[in-house]
Amino acid sequence: MSLAQKIIPDISEHDYLEGELISDIKHEYIAGNVYAMAGASKNHERVLGNVFADIKNHVKINKLTCDVFASDIKVKVENIGINYFYPDIMVSCDTEDNDSEYYINSPIIIVEVLSKSTRKNDLTTKKTAYLNIPSLQEYIIIEQDFCEVEVFRKNEYWNSTRYFLGDNITFNSIDITISVEDIYYQVKNEDIYSFLREKEIISKE
């Protein structure tokens, strides 16, 4: 999802949370300002669905005491003021993170699917906020217009590693490995078209 224009300045945290319960549009709360969120593309939803399904299935099969949330649950970030964001995917394994049914405080994984309109915010404001969440272990940024995944890991001092088609990615905090090809299953962009054409040529040789 992307941020649209700021629509309400200087609103209280309480009023924001109450307003979200009755709003048809999702909003993020950043430094006392409320921003409406724009809709997502088909490619965005394909990527989100692929990653969510793989993680959810892994959690279920391995009986992990973790919750996996996709885009409709907020994360509350208190390290730089009070902010609320709607990450595309979150994993929380904190069974005591029950302050609210509508947001969590202690994710270990956050995934954002980028677009032209979200890139700047996801790589600046949100990244700074997310990497200061004490519980967070991995922040994953996935492009939708081309095939590239960037993973920031706490145990690597938040240095990032980039992955491309043909690579596998391990999310260490829940011990799952996902191929970049699976992340981009049914996604329509030039990178995936070229990759699939090359695979087909090689298989015929």
Joined together, the tokens standing for residue 155 give 């145990």
pLDDT at 3 over 60: no
Region 85-95 average pLDDT: 94
How much of the chain, in percent, has pLDDT values that exceed 70?
Answer: 94
For residue 1, pLDDT beyond 50 = no
Instruction: Output the pLDDT for position 96.
Output: 80
The least confident of 4-18, 89-103, 111-125 is 4-18
Q: How confident is the model at residue 6 (pLDDT cuts 50, 70, 90)?
A: low
CATH of domain 41-204: 3.90.1570.10
Task: For residue 205, name the pLDDT band (cuts at 50, 70, 90).
Answer: low
99 pLDDT above the threshold of 80: no
Q: Return the higher-pLDDT residue of 98 and 146.
A: 146
User: What is the per-residue pLDDT across 126-185, written as a single tens digit (0 to 9) for each?
Assistant: 999 999 999 999 999 999 999 999 999 999 999 999 999 999 999 999 999 999 999 999
pLDDT of residue 118: 77
Q: 115 vs 9, which has greater pLDDT?
A: 115
| Domain boundaries, given as residue ranges, for the chain | 41-204
